[in-house]
Amino acid sequence: MNSPTTKIAVFGAGSIGCYLGGLLKSQDADLVFIGRSRLQHAVKQNGLTLTHFQNAPIHLGAEKVTIKTSSSALSDCDLILLCTKSQDTALAAQDILKHAKPGAHVISCQNGIRNVAVLKEELGTAFKVSGAIVPFNVTPNGSASYHCGTGGTLHFEHNLPDDVCLAFNKAGQATQYGGNFEGDQWAKLLVNLNNALNTLSGGTLRESFSQKDYRRAFACVIQEGLDVAKTKDIEVGRFNGHSPKAVIKLLKLPNVLYRILMDHIVKIDAKARSSMLDDLEIGRKSEIEYLQGEIVRQGKILGVETYANSNVLDAINTAFEKGMSPKLSGTEILKLVKK
């Protein structure tokens, strides 16, 4: 007897949502995207295209992609991949309460470490809530086209339905489940602190990391995050197979050694850059409060100094107020974070 097909909603169809949903839809998953009208119009005109720095592109014709602009489309879904920005989690939860069927599984595919707790507080026991760690970078690459510029394994806190897991794997996206999920989520948070630094530099990730002082600045903000986690008795895990402590050692290497090791350890597309920089350039709100802001907030509670992250937080808030990156050099960013 065949297992029932899982009805999936991607709630918050931005770059990550369109990429995850597009992978599933390429394998004929029963899926609806819930997003803005401009996405609906773009897909109607161009279909949905996913590109990857290593894999073959995927193009889905408009007839294969269902996009709704109302959260009422959640009503018959079994699995909800929540891909909104972290600052919109509470509002999204209210829409889920209003429209989704009780018992649906809501998975936070968002940055930060607070979203699952917010969802559980808002949704109560009527829904199953868990987290996911999305390891790769996705940026818009034209109208209804999204480019994945880094690799990694999707990490889910709890198992997915068999048909959803199979669809991801057939689409070429590896998945894993369980383990030290909280620790691995912290590891991702610490690595994601680079989103802000890349936004301050205004260039690609490759351009940023080619500068030794930029890497030293990144090491500083990670170390503060590790200090906060240690004080909280968090066993920080791994992100894309690497611990933040190991990342710090790598970041401090001379340029020649760094480039040799990076070519073997992490593959980064030449065009890849942070989603925060994209948000800045298109006028969206920043997620900084859920990245550097989280480290600073918890540091204040625990009495842990967060000088570097505090300064980055202030600089990002200023950049978003002005609507443009200050385009700082690695040396200037290092001066910002070092006493």
Please give the backbone phi and psi of residue 156, each rounded to the nearest 5 degrees, phi first. -105, 140
State residue 265's pLDDT score: 58
Please check whether residue 164 lies inside any domain of the structure. Answer: yes
Question: What is the pLDDT averaged over residues 42-65?
Answer: 95
Please check whether residue 2 lies inside any domain of the structure. Answer: no
Q: Check which CATH number belongs to the domain holding 157 and give it.
A: 3.40.50.720
Cα 148–Cα 59–Cα 48 angle in degrees, nearest 5 = 75
State residue 271's pLDDT score: 79
Residue 1 has pLDDT above 60, yes or no: no
Residues 249 and 273 in one domain: yes
Please check whether residue 1 lies inside any domain of the structure. Answer: no
State residue 150's pLDDT score: 85
Residues 210 and 245 in one domain: yes
Residues 123 and 104 in one domain: yes
Which single residue is written with the structure tokens 């009208």? 37
Residues 313 and 301 in one domain: yes
Sorting pLDDT into bands at 50, 70 and 90, what band is 267? low
Residues 6+ away with beta carbon under 8 Å from 130: 105, 106, 107, 108, 116, 156, 157, 158
Residues 53 and 201 in one domain: no
Domain coverage including residue 12: 7-178
Residue 200 has pLDDT above 60, yes or no: yes
What is the pTM (predicted TM-score) of this model?
0.92
The string of pLDDT tens digits covering residues 232-244 is: 999 999 998 889 9
- Say if CB 200 and CB 320 are below 8 A apart: no
Kindly tell me the burial class for residue 95, based on how many C-beta atoms sit within 10 Å of its own C-beta (0-12, 13-18, 19 or more): middle
The string of pLDDT tens digits covering residues 110-166 is: 999 999 999 999 999 999 999 999 998 898 888 899 999 888 899 999 999 999 999
Q: Check which CATH number belongs to the domain holding 306 and give it.
A: 1.10.1040.10
Residues 227 and 316 in one domain: yes
Number of independent structural domains in the chain: 2
What is the residue-averaged pLDDT of the chain? 94
Residues 210 and 97 in one domain: no
State residue 157's pLDDT score: 97
Residues 142 and 194 in one domain: no
State residue 259's pLDDT score: 80
Residues 209 and 318 in one domain: yes
What Rg, from alpha-carbon coordinates, does the chain have? Answer: 20
Of the residues 131, 162, 178, the one at which a domain ends: 178
Of the residues 159, 178, 197, the one at which a domain ends: 178
State residue 137's pLDDT score: 87
Please check whether residue 284 lies inside any domain of the structure. Answer: yes
Residues 101 and 192 in one domain: no
State residue 183's pLDDT score: 96
